[in-house]
Amino acid sequence: MKRVITLPYAITIYISSVLGGGILIAPGLAARVAGQGSIIAWVLLSLLSYPFAYTFAWLAMRKPESGGIYSFSREAFGTYVSNAVGWLFLAWFMFGAPANAIAAGYYLSFSIRMTEPEVYLVAGSIIFLACLVNYLGIRFSSRVQLLVIASIILVIITAIITSSTHLNYENYVPIIPGGSFYSIGVASALIIWAFFGYENVPNLAGEVTDPENIFRKSILFSVIMVGILYTSVSIVTIGTASYKSGSGITPFAVLMSSFLGSYGGIATSVIAVVAIFSTANAYVAGMSRVIYSVARSHGLPHWLSHINPRTGAPGRSIILMVSLGLANLAAFYFLGIDLVTAFLVVSGIGGLVYVVGSASAIKLLRERGWRKALPWISLLASAIILSFISYLLLLSAVVVLASLLYTWTVRKGRTSQDTSA
């Protein structure tokens, strides 16, 4: 690996990994759950982002390799735990991809009159196209990804500036609606998925020019930048009450159309669709490699570990992902599953992965001083947030139990074959 990633590029990678379509969706959903109290949830998670980012960066620097948390958990706790992480990543895509794609469809329907089936058709097209692009071995250049992120940041800054004179300060009182902290906890559990991404960047540790110095500075700067943007958007969403329009999924489109007219809403809708597709494309690329790695170690059916010799893509893993994603999208439609429920499920899956990753860091890292506490803070924060997901966490438990049963069955079968031989 050539060490070509400098400090500015590292900061850009961090921000683009975390600041995706979530900032266009999560503020409105969190406001629906906790009202003005959601601002506290955004501030809280912004502060907790540093322990998350630090923990995974130092794990990757210790042993740079692909696989991320799957590889770390395998080294720390063995095959059963790492295979469970692999299954959770697959479930993460199964629930997260449809939820994000549906949100993109709603953003588009804000500018173009669409029926509910048409919204889901757009969502299905996004999932299918993201998987097709990866199956064919096509990669978006970093310039395209950066252009998308730059467009999102431009929309955010424009929305904040244009709406700053239209804030109604009565919307912020009381800051804790009904004096209940429980809704803030639920909002935190709902939006933690918007901060996922810090675990992905450190896989590039082998290409950073000065890893220790650059990671320390880029983590701090990106955490501050992302936290300010998320919190500012939450303040604007609450102050203008834009989350009360429609289903609360498209607060930015509401803001931009209110202050800049129909063209502002159209531009925001297009950017939202492109941003969410870009996020889906990145997740298909990353998670398909995790599925491939799990299959190679027999944690999933071994036929999934096939690599297309022409494109270099794990084609069968991608086919599995698109099949499960589209099947779950159909379930969303016919069962009427709302996005708040869907994203809470995603937060439960991702939060459980973060628990394993943090526990792996506690076991593997040998930090001193105050940095030694950061993995523990990451673990404690993840566990507390998971407690607010309530019964929806059962889905994650089912996935883990299924993976354990599969791994036990495969290992027992292979042991029997070795014995008979």
| DSSP characters over 347-405 | HHHHHHHHHHHHHHHHHH----GGGGGHHHHHHHHHHHHHHTTGGGHHHHHHHHHHHHH
pLDDT score of 67 more than 70: no
pLDDT score of 271 more than 80: yes
Amino acid 318 reads I
pLDDT score of 371 more than 80: yes
Strand, coil or helix: what is 338?
coil
Write down all domains in the chain, each with its CATH number in brackets. 7-93+139-259+331-408 (1.20.1740.10)
pLDDT of residue 258: 78
pLDDT of residue 347: 94
Residue 65 confidence class, pLDDT cut points 50, 70, 90: low
pLDDT of residue 18: 82
> What tens digit of pLDDT does each residue of 38-52 get?
999 999 999 999 999
Tokens 């506690």: give the residue.
Answer: 362
pLDDT score of 273 more than 70: yes
Residue 417 confidence class, pLDDT cut points 50, 70, 90: low
> What tens digit of pLDDT does each residue of 275-330 get?
888 888 878 887 888 898 899 889 999 999 888 888 888 899 999 999 999 999 99
Residue 6 confidence class, pLDDT cut points 50, 70, 90: confident
∠ CA 325-404-408 to the nearest 5 degrees? 125
Q: Give the CA-trace dihedral at 405, 378, 281, 103, to 10 degrees.
A: 100
pLDDT of residue 204: 62
Mean pLDDT confidence for 219-240: 91
pLDDT of residue 287: 85
> Counting beta carbons within 10 angstroms of the beta carbon of residue 404, is it exposed (0 to 12), middle (13 to 18) or buried (19 or more)?
middle
Mean pLDDT confidence for 225-245: 89
Is 131:322 a contact under the CB 8 Å cutoff? yes
What are the counts of helices (DSSP H) followed by strands (DSSP E) for the chain? 15, 0
Tokens 């992302």: give the residue.
Answer: 226
Mean pLDDT confidence for 140-150: 69
Lowest mean pLDDT among 155-159, 196-200, 342-346, 401-405: 196-200
Biggest CA–CA distance in the chain, Å, is 78
Mean pLDDT confidence for 146-165: 82
pLDDT score of 206 more than 70: no
Report how far residue 190's alpha carbon sits from residue 386's, in angstroms, rounded to the nearest whole number: 10
> What tens digit of pLDDT does each residue of 69-118 get?
888 899 999 999 999 999 999 999 999 999 999 999 999 998 888 999 99
Higher local confidence (pLDDT), 225 or 262: 225
pLDDT of residue 64: 62
pLDDT of residue 207: 67
Amino acid 316 reads R
pLDDT score of 145 more than 90: no
pLDDT of residue 58: 83
Mean pLDDT confidence for 196-221: 77
Q: What is the pTM of this model?
A: 0.89
Mean pLDDT confidence for 348-355: 94
pLDDT averaged over every residue in the chain:
86
Residue 386 confidence class, pLDDT cut points 50, 70, 90: very high
Residue 182 C-alpha from the chain's centroid: 23
DSSP assignment of 171-201 equals: GGSSSSGGG-SHHHHHHHHHHGGGGTTTTTG
**pLDDT > 90 in the chain, percent:** 45
Mean pLDDT confidence for 133-153: 75
Report how far residue 318's alpha carbon sits from residue 283's, in angstroms, rounded to the nearest whole number: 11
Q: What phi-psi label fits residue 352: left (phi over 0), alpha (psi between -120 and 50 degrees) or beta?
A: alpha
Measured in degrees and rounded to the nearest 5, phi and psi for residue 5 equal -85, 115
pLDDT of residue 20: 73
Residue 168, number of CB atoms within 10 A of its CB: 10
Tokens 């809403």: give the residue.
Answer: 265
Of 80, 64, 86, nearest to 1 (Cα)? 64
Give 370's DSSP letter: G
